[in-house]
Amino acid sequence: MPQLEVKNIETYYGPIMAIKGISFEVEESSIVTILGANGAGKTSVLKTISGVMEPEKGTIEFMGKRIDHLDPDKIVRMGISHVPEGREVFHDLTVKENLAMGAFLRRDKDGMARDLETVHAYFPVLEARRGQLAGNMSGGEQQMLAIARALMARPKMLLLDEPSLGLSPVLVKEIYDIIKRINEEQKTTILLVEQNAWMALSTAQFGYILELGRIVMADPCDELMENEDVREFYLGIKEESVRGSKRWKRKKRWR
């Protein structure tokens, strides 16, 4: 049985339908990615899973239990941590306090100390800066802090919303290496939402492509990378035209 099963969810922002009925699943300990352009509904999918948004229709099951319509804190307790887009760390708190916030719901002091060590091992820079205000850190460091904070809840599944956003290529690679290590070493399931298709497809095992609130493709990542449409529209690889430059795009077909 898949760890997470999303069935026919529809989510609205007021009168606007952000997700037009989508279904997908995530296997335990895997990395799964959802790709899509701006406004495709990627963030809404994650928000709906973590309980920040409520689906109008459809069901979400996590480890066999219904979690749609549960409050976000209950969902965190069940083992799903959400790293929102734009690294929303608490700017006026120190790194240490930020990490403590991540473990807010936990009472096991020993476990927390062990996890803090693990987190510091993944992100040595956070240990070095533990007393610094989070707001004064660089973008990359803030992103690391946001991931580390989520890990402090010791999640079974991590929802990552565009971890590469606004970071330099070197930092993106560094963060992705750590994401992979977390998945391998902690067996944490990772559901990754990205615009950086290349990074996401080379990290994840399975991918879904979301366009205007609907899934148009669902395949293993190596197959997606070979797909003509994915190559042209997501990886930016296109055949050269006779003139040497080609600006127009052919129609997407998704097959």
Partner 1 sequence: MALGKLQEAGPPAPGVDTVPKLFWQRVTEWADRTAMREKKFGLWQDITWREYGRMARYTGLALVELGLRPRDRAAIISDDIPEWLYCDMGIQCVGGTTVGIYPTDSPQQVEYVMGHSGSRFYFAEDEEQLDKILEVRDRLPDLKKIIIYDMEGLRDFRDPMAMSYDELLELGKQADQRDPEAFEKLLNIPGPEDTAFLVYTSGTTGPPKGAMITHRNVLAGFHSQRQVLKGYLEDELLTFLPLCHIAERGVTALGMIMNGWVCNFAEEMDTVPQDIREVSPTVFFAVPRIWERFYSAMVLRMKDATWLEKKAFNLAMAVGKACSDYRLHLKEPPVHLRAAFKLADWCVLRNLKRFVGLDRVRMCLSGAAPISPDLLKFYHSLGIDMREVYGQTESTGAATMHYAGGTKFGTVGEALPGIEIRITDEGEILIKGPSVFKGYFRDPDKTAETVRDGWLYTGDVGLIDEDGHVVIKDRLKDIIITSGGKNITPSEIENQLKFSPYINDAVVIGDGRKYLTALIMIDEENVMKYAQDNRIPFTTYKSLTQAPEINKLIWREVEAVNKKFARVETIKKFRLIDIQLTTDDDEITPTMKLKRKYINEKFKDIIESMY
Binding of residue 173 to partner 1 (CB under 8 A) = no
Binding of residue 254 to partner 1 (CB under 8 A) = yes
Residue 22: phi and psi, rounded to 5, are: -125, 155
Relative orientation angle of helices 169-186 and 109-122, to the nearest 10 degrees: 140
Stretch that binds partner 1, among 37-45, 153-161, 163-171, 215-223 (CB under 8 A): 215-223
CB-wise, 58 or 79, nearer to partner 1?
58
Cα–Cα distance list, 221 to 161, 239, 254 (Å): 18, 21, 15
Q: How far is the CB of 24 from partner 1 (least distance, A)?
A: 6
Angle ∠(132,137,140) on CA atoms, nearest 5: 135
Taking CB under 8 A as the criterion, the residue among 2, 21, 72, 86 binding partner 1 is: 21
CA-wise closest residue to 62 among 52, 43, 48, 83: 48
Binding of residue 216 to partner 1 (CB under 8 A) = yes
Taking CB under 8 A as the criterion, the residue among 2, 10, 86, 97 binding partner 1 is: 10
Report d(CA 107, CA 191) in Å as an integer. 27
Taking CB under 8 A as the criterion, the residue among 208, 227, 233, 234 binding partner 1 is: 208
Q: How far is the CB of 5 from partner 1 (least distance, A)?
A: 8
- Asked whether 190 and 160 are in contact (CB, 8 A), the reply is yes
- Which spans of this chain sit near partner 1 (rule: CB under 8 A)? 7-8, 10, 20-24, 57-59, 208, 214-218, 241-243, 245-248, 250-251, 253-255
